[in-house]
Amino acid sequence: MGSTSSTLLKIPNVEELVQETGFSPAHIIRLYDRFKVLDKEGRGHLCPQDFGAIKELAMNPIRDRIISAFFSPGKETVDFNTFVRILAHFRPVDKDRPKDPNSPEPINSRSNKLKFAFQLYDQDKDGKISRDELLKVLRDMLGMQVTEEQLESIADRTIQEADLDRDDAISFEEFRKSLEKVNIDHKMSIRFLR
Amino acid sequence: MSNSTYLCLRAVFLVCFIHPLIQGLSADANVVQSPRHRLEPNLTGLPIVTFEWHHVQTPYLVIIWVFVAALAKLSVIELNHHVTSVIPESGMLIIVGFILGGMVWGADKAQTFKLLPATFFFYLLPQIILDASYFMPNKLFFSNLGAILIYAIFGTCWNAAAVGLSLWGCYEAGVMGNLDIGLLQFLLFGSLIAAVDPVAVIAVFEEVHVNEVLFILVFGESLLNDGVTVVLYNVFDAFVALGGPRIDATEIFKGIFSFVVVAFGGSFLGVAFAILLSLLTRCTKHIQIIEAGFVFVVGYLAYLTADMLSLSAILSITFCGVCCQKYVNANMDEKSVTTVRHAMKVLANGSETMIFLFLGITAVDTEIWVWNTGFILLTLLFMIVYRIIGVFLFTWLLNKFRLVPIEVIDQVVMSYGGLRGAVAYGLAAMLDKDKIPEKNLMISTTLIVVYFTVIIQGITMKPLVQWLKVKRAAHSDLKLVEKLNNRAFDHILAAVEDICGRIGDNWWTRGWNRFEEKYICRILMKPKARKNKDYLFNVFHKLNLEDAMNYVSEGERQGSLAFIRSDEAANIDFKKQYGSEFADVMPDIMVDMSNYEFGIENVSVTSIVKDTIPSISRNIHGQDRKNAVDDINAHHVLQQHLYRSRKHHRHKYSRSHFGINQSEDEVQEIFQRTMRSRLESFKSAKTGVNPAKKITKHHKKELTHQIPNGHPEGKDHLYGDEVDSAVGSETGAVNSTFMRDTYTSGAGIENPAFMPDMDSPIHSPPWLMETEMDMAVAPSQRAQRRLPWTPNRLRRLAPMRISTCSTDSFLMADVSLTLEEHEEQPQGDNEDIRPVFE
């Protein structure tokens, strides 16, 4: 892995990144190694093809959505800092960390985790999950198991459940309300190796 | 060592078979076996009735005790709410047991009834374990399996060793006075007192409603560590039999090895039986009535086989239940699933009641009580202290690796939830008096420990949980949006793990899921069930069923559901209110309900719905048709091929069939008739000769027109085959496919109202005639609107009249219209088929 400090030196704005994401330097180094593996040509940034090359990912039904979540709109590449920032969504919420009311909301907060999930549905970025958008996700996830009509009914029903203002779409607020009882911290966190 | 396990087993068998179920009833075994010879030899005349107590004594006493136990449970539950909310049911039952035991003792001056280990291990325990494992929330269980195993294996070993060694140390220090116990006996005692008892844990924790992770940790541990204790017990029992000096390193090594073999062997045996069970239920399509029994029989077989091989029987039946549930529930008919569920609960609840009651009764016996203050109090103390230390120690280790650490409060509840129960007592009672002189002291200590944990800790558990503000189980309604998002979250996490390039929990789950889907399901599940098992869809379906139930009850509240059939306004409302999803429900009624979460209450809903469906809904208001032609096709085809099924109302008395269904013969008949008519029309098409049967002119025309133009016979055959298969499967069977179109399959119903129409050369629409005749069936709006039943349309449709019974899409929802007629038929309508083409 090389010496810790030398690897860290290669990463621009490390301290800021640590501060912002809550990852420890050890985490960052590990992620940096991974980043370099993914970045086969050593350009210092990743493009969608690099993600597409991860072969375990190929089986994931909503792969494309997740990959595109790494790229801000209009951009074709993602640099290391953004990469880490996106992954930081999935850090478990740390309880012992002192809560500073002045500091900005941490990336791994509940609502940020939810926002990440929400934007996977909301492909046209209008702040609402429309029926069509939901249907597409459903089609991806359920695949051949159910018929198209059943998919539609499921989509309708899902929207009915969450839709509070009866506009046949799920806004982020409605999305959050509908998942109030779900333990997002558990469901949207993974353990990062240090 | 293995010799002694054999001995132990043999003892168990001896106790089981030679001893009667309840002590003191050993007399008259031969009388029971030879009922013919029970008349007195010096009979002078023919007795009208005789009193044959000895003849029925054993089973009679058993059943009386079962009855008493049930009454005890009833009285405990119906008791004053202030009492029941304080004392858990298990504790109450023990107390009732004290009272009953006192009565018996007062009458007999000795305890004639007590819980024998053999009775307990062979007749009372298996169904409880099977029930617990069969309804285990699998996902939760397996995702916490690591923690559970750590607690169950290492925690139990730690407890056994620590309690045994500490007691021995205190004994050596002279606290207990003069006892005839050595180190090994202490360890043996430690091993039997170490295990948390699943029966007691379920009984107490079910009333407390702690959060699911905490519950699964305590419960899973209690379930698995029983296996571990029994193994430990056997090993130490063997050591005791061997005697101190002869135990060397090899023997100890062999002990450890046997521990591993017994525990894992038992588990694998259980998995093997689970596979057997799943395979069995795959091919019980035609004997659905007994398939529910397989679950119990095979489960019990797993238990006994493991015991025979001196493997861990409890682990065997546990893994049998845990592994088979998914496939068995998917394979079996929904009714059988319900049956299993209820029967299992009845059995498990019954034996749980018996166990606690007899734990109480057993205590009222002067014979077993040996008091040794030091021994008993120290056991209690060590048991509690080491449990707490063990839990905190292992949790501390586990928390280093857990994504969601186990909180301190949860740890407190876990350590306090270490309830001991009947397994410990059963093991203590199985001790060999010759090898362990202080057996009675051990039994009485075990009983004290059991009473203390079940009653005292049971009572204080609820206040403790409230006081500590332990996270309770969130009682939320099932929501599709939650389930959908959970699915999405799983995928997201998996993807992120892939991107991070680490092999984590999600990786393993995913890999396993894929493997299971690809291979295991293929082998163990019926193809049809495999198709329908998507969890999300099942949730959706279940929600719809609930809606349907509400709809029905609402309709019934308003008076009658007849409005569904006749009142247009109601129809429109109906569609608006429930949207398309309700229309969806009906055909899907037969969906396999397997993935539903455990809990009985859901089932009743579905089964009721299932019964209600035929009378209320025929999918009249289905979604918009794909095209209008289908609509007319359906009418047309039906008109041509209506068939009156002979209802067999045999379900009241038949032992093997619930369903009202046509027999195979009938199916054959439908098939043959369809084929015949097809053949005839084909013939007529070829030769131009009028067939003997009257087929309306239009059809002749169109057939001449169409059939030669490339509608190969092959196609007909294809449909013909389908007739067989579609009708052959019971309407209520799990395996009917999801598509709403299929609900109509194979109903084989003839609508007499359509009959006269067949002969009339002019095709006036059948529904008009109906209304004129004031039949109960009102045409749907849509149907009335679409009157153009013109010959040239018919011509287009002609080739469609292939089969009444196939599940083709052109048989769309409007079949419902005619199906209504079915309702109007007088019951017990056993007429022969009315040939349609005459």
* Residue B789 touches partner A, C-beta closer than 8 Å: no
3-class SS of residue B210 = strand
Q: Which residue of A has its CA nearest to B530?
A: A145
Per-residue model confidence as pLDDT tens digits over B396-442: 998 888 777 788 888 888 888 888 888 888 888 888 888 778 888 88
For B352: left if phi > 0, alpha if psi spans -120 to 50, otherwise beta; the answer is: alpha
Mean of all residue pLDDT scores within chain A: 78
Residue that has been written with the tokens 């969806």 in this structure: B584
Q: Which two tokens stand for residue A136?
A: 């597409």
Instruction: Return the DSSP state at B677.
Output: H
* Residue A31 touches partner B, C-beta closer than 8 Å: yes
CB < 8 Å to A49, chain B = none
pLDDT at position B599 over 80: no
Measure the CA–CA gap between A179 and A111, rounded to whole angstroms.
11
Measure the CA–CA gap between B449 and B451, rounded to whole angstroms.
6
Burial (Cβ within 10 Å: 0-12, 13-18, ≥19) of residue A115: middle
Percent of chain B with pLDDT over 70: 61
Could you tell me if B729 and B736 are in contact, meaning their C-beta atoms sit under 8 angstroms apart?
yes
Query: So what's the pLDDT on residue B392?
Result: 92
Q: Tell me the backbone φ, ψ of residue B144, rounded to 5 degrees.
A: -110, 15
- The DSSP H or E segment spanning B203 is helix B198-208
3-class SS of residue B136 = coil
Instruction: Return the DSSP state at A164.
Output: S
Measure the CA–CA gap between A120 and A137, rounded to whole angstroms.
9
Per-residue model confidence as pLDDT tens digits over B7-47: 443 444 433 333 444 443 333 334 344 444 555 556 677 88
Which residue(s) pair with A45 in the sheet?
A: A79
Query: Using the beta-carbon criterion (under 8 Å), do A66 and B497 form an inter-chain contact?
Result: no
Instruction: Return the DSSP state at B690.
Output: P
pLDDT at position B266 over 60: yes
Could you tell me if B225 and B155 are in contact, meaning their C-beta atoms sit under 8 angstroms apart?
yes
What integer is the mean pLDDT of A81-103? 72
Query: So what's the pLDDT on residue B346?
Result: 92
Q: Which residues contact B582 (CB under 8 A, 6 or more apart)?
A: B544, B547, B548, B551, B574
pLDDT at position B730 over 50: no
* Residue A154 touches partner B, C-beta closer than 8 Å: yes
pLDDT at position B741 over 70: no
Query: So what's the pLDDT on residue B23?
Result: 43
- How many H-runs (helices) and E-runs (strands) does chain B carry? 39, 0
Which range (A1-5, A118-122, A182-186, B249-253) has the least confidence?
Answer: A1-5
Quickly state the pLDDT bin for B718 (edges 50, 70, 90). very low
Query: Using the beta-carbon criterion (under 8 Å), do B493 and A188 form an inter-chain contact?
Result: yes
Percent of chain B with pLDDT over 90: 8
CB < 8 Å to A116, chain B = 492
Q: Which residues contact B500 (CB under 8 A, 6 or more apart)?
A: A31, A34, A87, A190, A192
Measure the CA–CA gap between A49 and B40, rounded to whole angstroms.
95
Query: So what's the pLDDT on residue B697?
Result: 44
3-class SS of residue B645 = coil
pLDDT at position A90 over 80: yes
Query: So what's the pLDDT on residue B199?
Result: 82
Where helices occur in B525-657 by DSSP H, the ranges are 527-531, 535-557, 562-566, 568-585, 601-616, 628-641
Between B122 and B178, residue with greater pLDDT: B122
Query: Using the beta-carbon criterion (under 8 Å), do A182 and B499 form an inter-chain contact?
Result: no
Question: A193 vs chain B: nearest CA distance in angstroms?
Answer: 8
Could you tell me if B92 and B73 are in contact, meaning their C-beta atoms sit under 8 angstroms apart?
no
Q: Tell me the backbone φ, ψ of residue B338, rounded to 5 degrees.
A: -65, -45
How wide is the angle at C-alpha B527 spanned by C-alphas B523 and B533, nearest 5°? Answer: 100
Quickly state the pLDDT bin for B274 (edges 50, 70, 90). very high
Query: Using the beta-carbon criterion (under 8 Å), do B581 and A57 form an inter-chain contact?
Result: no
Q: Which residues contact B705 (CB under 8 A, 6 or more apart)?
A: B795, B798
Which range (B131-145, B478-492, B727-741) has the least confidence?
Answer: B727-741
Q: Is the dihedral of CA B806, B660, B287, B586 positive or negative?
A: positive
Query: Using the beta-carbon criterion (under 8 Å), do B501 and A37 form an inter-chain contact?
Result: yes
What integer is the mean pLDDT of B591-600? 38
Longest dimension (CA), chain A: 58
Measure the CA–CA gap between B438 and B443, rounded to whole angstroms.
9
Query: Using the beta-carbon criterion (under 8 Å), do B495 and A178 form an inter-chain contact?
Result: no
HSE (side-chain half, CA atoms, 13 Å) at A88: 23
From chain B residues 581-620, the ones with a CB under 8 A of any chain A CB are 581, 584
How far is Cα of residue B194 from the mean position of the Cα atoms in its chain?
31
Quickly state the pLDDT bin for B67 (edges 50, 70, 90). very high
Which residue(s) pair with A131 in the sheet?
A: none
* Residue A26 touches partner B, C-beta closer than 8 Å: no
Q: Which residues contact B236 (CB under 8 A, 6 or more apart)?
A: B184, B187, B188, B191
Distances (CA, A) of B389 to B225, B419, B456, B470, B749: 17, 16, 20, 20, 71
pLDDT at position B626 over 80: no
Per-residue model confidence as pLDDT tens digits over B380-395: 999 899 999 999 999 9
Measure the CA–CA gap between B81 and A52, rounded to whole angstroms.
62
Q: Which residue of B has its CA nearest to A52?
A: B499
Mean of all residue pLDDT scores within chain B: 70
Query: So what's the pLDDT on residue B222?
Result: 87
Instruction: Give the number of other Cβ atoms within 10 Å of residue B795's Cβ.
Output: 16
Which range (A95-104, B94-103, B382-391) has the least confidence?
Answer: A95-104
